[in-house]
Chain A
Amino acid sequence: MTKEDVIHAIERVTDPEIPAISVVDMGIITDVQVLNDNSVRVVMTPTFVGCPAIDVMKHDVEQAVRGLGVEHVVVDVNFDVPWSTNRLTEKGRAALLKHGLAPPEPFDTLALELEVLNNVACPYCGSHNTTLKSPFGPTLCRSLHYCNACRQAFEGFKPV
């Protein structure tokens, strides 16, 4: 078994709060170690420290790897590699957009200016003529916006 086989299996696991995107494309899998055919270790990093979905995802990842016939599966959750929206893959960004969630532009994690939230591209019409309504949305990782062009409220995946 290879690392790719494991990643392929984990790709079927999605974030229960945003089922449109896999945990791999979310960038929350930070390490996969195949020790041998019967022993695999996966490391995950939560999007937010208080993310309530992490235990469910941890369980699902473990089950997915067990599905390959691996007996010893260890899934560790730690902050060794801090999650940032810069870890979203291109495929992940496309999935968010399709789901009606504006994906965040890549940014410098050390110098995040929240003004970037003021002109997030609308996932429906693509206009940048949008307004941030609130930095807090239905889940910790989302923000609320309004598009002045197509007059539609939408949600963004906020840069962290």
Chain B
Amino acid sequence: MNASACKDLLLRMADDELIIAHRHSEWTGLGPLLEEDIAFSSIAQDKLGHAQALYAIMHEHFGEPEPDTQAFMRNESAMKCCHFVELPNGEYDFSLMRHFLADAAEFVRWTALTQSTFEPLAKLALKIRGELKYHLYHAQTWVKQLGAQGSEESHARMQSALREAWPYALGMFEPSDADQALITDGVFVGELEIYQQWLSFVTPTLTEATLEIPTGVDPVYGGRKGYHTEHLQPLLTEMTEVYRIDPSAEW
């Protein structure tokens, strides 16, 4: 197995989970309904757990630093998350739409990984897939409800959120130089395959929500190579503040 290709895959997945976890957690205490506040907080907690599990595999199998060091001690340029997860939460419509598009991508990705030849990842995938069903159920319920069963305003807001999110959502599938080696080794099916499965997955829900899928859009790439939006560094600064002051602090 090509170790550097495998590490590349694990790191981009872990960084996506870590950053989206932080964004979702920003709804804690501010959700529009108590149930929604709890939902976003719970999903954030799950994502953080997934990030930790991925960093732990990198630590145990490839000698990379401890999960806390990976999460808290890297600067922007060493992060491999996509731009989609970095964007600020915006209004609730955008947060929900991002949650739906990103969780659908995670679901097809982790489902594919249950067949991975890299056993630790396949075992984790089986476990995580069960959790993602709840994330998707939540996202799909709201996208359909606000798109098709709400008011003219809720439909317009969801359509606008979809238009805004789409180029960034396509950026989740930025091709990586590692893909060919991962496909050859049977570790991962590659970003192109995941993109196609994702499109087939989200289309029925968006259609049911009477939302129009944008076409002719260029994907926003760069995150996997360490180029990020202006929003990432402020997030990292806030997230790592306590750890940087005192790495041995317990809280």
- Is B46 within 8 A of A50, CB to CB? yes
In the bound complex, CA of A158 to CA of B53 (Å): 22
- Is A49 within 8 A of B128, CB to CB? yes
Contact for B138 among A49, A79, A83, A135, CB less than 8 A: A135
Contact for A48 among B41, B124, B126, B131, CB less than 8 A: B131
**63-87 of chain A: CB within 8 A of chain B:** 78-80, 82-84
> Could you tell me the distance in whole angstroms from the C-beta of B63 to the nearest C-beta in chain A?
19
- Is B42 within 8 A of A136, CB to CB? yes
Binary CB contact string for chain B from 52 to 67 against chain A (1 if under 8 A, 0 otherwise): 1100000000000000
Interface size (A, Cβ < 8 Å)?
24
Most buried by B among A49, A79, A137: A49
Name A82's closest neighbour in chain B (CB-CB). Answer: B127
Contact for A82 among B38, B48, B130, CB less than 8 A: B130
B41 proximity list for chain A (CB < 8 A): 136
> Could you tell me the distance in whole angstroms from the C-beta of B47 to the nearest C-beta in chain A?
8
Judge if B39 is at the interface, Cβ distance under 8 Å.
yes
- Is B130 within 8 A of A84, CB to CB? yes
- Is A112 within 8 A of B133, CB to CB? yes
Contact for A133 among B35, B45, B130, CB less than 8 A: B35
A52 proximity list for chain B (CB < 8 A): 45
- Main SS at interface, chain B: helix
In the bound complex, CA of A79 to CA of B42 (Å): 21
Judge if A51 is at the interface, Cβ distance under 8 Å.
yes
- Is A50 within 8 A of B49, CB to CB? yes
B38 proximity list for chain A (CB < 8 A): 134, 136-138, 144
Judge if B137 is at the interface, Cβ distance under 8 Å.
yes
A78 proximity list for chain B (CB < 8 A): 123
Judge if A140 is at the interface, Cβ distance under 8 Å.
yes
- Is B49 within 8 A of A49, CB to CB? yes
In the bound complex, CA of A135 to CA of B127 (Å): 18
**119-156 of chain B: CB within 8 A of chain A:** 123-124, 126-128, 130-131, 133-134, 137-138
Judge if B79 is at the interface, Cβ distance under 8 Å.
no
Contact for B35 among A51, A136, A158, CB less than 8 A: A136
Judge if B182 is at the interface, Cβ distance under 8 Å.
no
Q: A134-B39, A135-B39, A137-B38 are in contact. Are A51 and B49 (CB under 8 A)?
A: yes
In the bound complex, CA of A101 to CA of B191 (Å): 42
- Is B35 within 8 A of A144, CB to CB? yes
Contact for A140 among B42, B127, B133, B137, CB less than 8 A: B42
- Is A160 within 8 A of B39, CB to CB? no
B131 proximity list for chain A (CB < 8 A): 48-49, 160
Footprint of A on B, CB under 8 Å? 35, 38-39, 41-43, 45-50, 52-53, 123-124, 126-128, 130-131, 133-134, 137-138
5 example contacts (A-B, Cβ-Cβ < 8 A) are as follows: A51-B49, A78-B123, A79-B126, A80-B123, A144-B38
9 nearest A-B residue pairs (beta carbon): A50-B49, A49-B49, A136-B42, A134-B35, A136-B39, A82-B127, A135-B134, A79-B123, A160-B130
